[in-house]
Structure 1
């Protein structure tokens, strides 16, 4: 059997957050995949090496959050990503789901698990920041190497800049392929309104993440959590997940050697095995 295609699994779901684009494939316990905040990011693009494998055992919902991909173009100040996830589950008739989030998607997953404990069965994150830090998202205020290039790519979503972005997101150069660079550049250029809203938010001192879970809220998460982080992450240092694992009661940390910000891409086989076993047996 051929693997599921992006086109065949694509659908739009309409909620009070507007149009939410998802790829819906497989059967079983639902796993919601949430992407990061980079220009041209989509859930399918962020999780292409994982969807077919996970769909062998679970129902996989790869979600473009409002402001990205095929979903509604929403100004930063009007976004409520944890609420959008819950309203999407409501519209799909899903009572409880596992959340798997990379970077910004991990922060959204953490906040959703903290605010809606009865709706989240499992929590998996890859490379999220534990909390907002002063100046982290402000131009000239000391963002990481990866975030500086991410901001640059929003202003200039050219193939040349996207090559820098893909390079800084990965540890092993073999994963920074020309095809991936081209895909991200084309995706970003296809949605100029998303780029505009991000840059406007940045100019207003806002970052893409509008709701963070506080330390007290993180301590109240009841879902079992697996925190995956690359030791060589140049976007969010792995100390962030060390902080998270110290706060979330039922949590474990998997630190991957020779791994950057995209663990699900660089260590796809191990990631797929870890997530499958974790959701199936916890």
Structure 2
């Protein structure tokens, strides 16, 4: 049976929030939690629809909408606690341990969860994640991609969403009208998410990392980054692979911020190999 958004969609009541997930794969298989990025209209499904069917052949895949995104509960900026939301979701699903895969903001959550809850992670995988420290080669302020991302919250039109999807990729062919419209529709359906995001811009990072704690991560970690990422410079993953003791990095040329979309086949293959190895 073909997996669709509707066929995999359900709501999960957790300790603090109701969280929307797309779930697929055998219920008794090892769990893998997918965490999306921070852009307007982002959801677990929009970030990982090219990966879920492949991963679900071997794992129980749970693509979560973080509180403040998608169909999950709205939250104010001060209430955001993404690692805590993941822990709450795991508790509600009765999962003692899981592997985490996070893109961008979701990568930050993955890294932070790795050092805050080391006993609850099997393996960690990130794509286009920040390392939490100061930039050496990348932009000192907002990157081109982050500027357009914030514009997408202020002006969530189809044209702005097109700019956003385009800057997230190296090849504009991946900026399909279907993907653009899906994100625009999700923004329109949940205006409170936009309002809450804009109210917090400039206050602090959505997921703050303690740079000094990152080297304490003990879980095997696989880092991906696009060489042409215009949102988060690839130097971030170079720094992470230096900081995390049991880490390895895949740097892909002709690739933007959405590596799991632009290079889905290679990403899926490497992720399955990494998760399968002891």
**Structure 2 length as normaliser, TM-score?**
0.95
Q: Deviations over 1:199-247 (max 9, x none)?
A: 00016x23322x32x2331111111000000000000000000000000
Contact 1:259 1:266 in 2 (8 A): yes
Structure 2: distance between partners of 1:88 and 1:18: 9
Contact 1:201 1:207 in 2 (8 A): no
Q: What secondary structure sits across from 1:31 in the alignment?
A: strand
Structure 2: distance between partners of 1:241 and 1:17: 32
Q: What secondary structure sits across from 2:58 in the alignment?
A: coil
Structure 1: distance between partners of 2:17 and 2:115: 24
Report what 1:251 is aligned to: 247
Contact 2:130 2:232 in 1 (8 A): yes
How far 1:9 moved relative to its partner? Answer: 1.3
Report what 1:118 is aligned to: 119
Calculate the aligned-residue CA RMSD, in Å.
Answer: 1.3
Matched length: 272
Contact 2:219 2:246 in 1 (8 A): yes
Q: What secondary structure sits across from 2:126 in the alignment?
A: strand
Structure 1: distance between partners of 2:165 and 2:16: 30
Report what 1:221 is aligned to: 217
Q: Structure 2 vs 1, CA of residues 192 and 133 (structure 1 numbering), >3 Å: closer, same or farther?
A: farther
Report what 1:206 is aligned to: 204
Contact 1:17 1:66 in 2 (8 A): no
Contact 2:221 2:247 in 1 (8 A): yes
Q: Deviations over 1:21-77 (max 9, x none)?
A: 111110211000000000000001100100000000000000001100011100011
How far 1:3 moved relative to its partner? Answer: 2.1
Structure 2: distance between partners of 1:11 and 1:132: 36
Q: What secondary structure sits across from 2:219 in the alignment?
A: coil
How far 1:132 moved relative to its partner? Answer: 5.5
How far 1:87 moved relative to its partner? Answer: 1.2
Structure 2: distance between partners of 1:132 and 1:242: 12
Structure 2: distance between partners of 1:132 and 1:145: 19
Structure 1: distance between partners of 2:187 and 2:134: 27
Q: What secondary structure sits across from 1:21 in the alignment?
A: strand
Report what 1:193 is aligned to: 192
Does residue 273 of the first structure (1) align with residue 269 of the second (2)? Answer: yes
**Structure 1 length as normaliser, TM-score?**
0.94
Q: What secondary structure sits across from 2:240 in the alignment?
A: helix
Contact 2:126 2:223 in 1 (8 A): yes
Structure 1: distance between partners of 2:164 and 2:61: 27
Structure 2: distance between partners of 1:64 and 1:120: 19
Contact 1:73 1:193 in 2 (8 A): yes
Report what 2:177 is aligned to: 178
How far 1:178 moved relative to its partner? Answer: 1.3
Report what 1:138 is aligned to: none
Structure 1: distance between partners of 2:204 and 2:246: 31
Structure 1: distance between partners of 2:96 and 2:239: 30
Structure 2: distance between partners of 1:167 and 1:262: 10
| Pick aligned residue for 1:234 from 211, 230, 233 | 230
Structure 2: distance between partners of 1:40 and 1:103: 14
Report what 1:19 is aligned to: 18
Contact 2:114 2:124 in 1 (8 A): yes
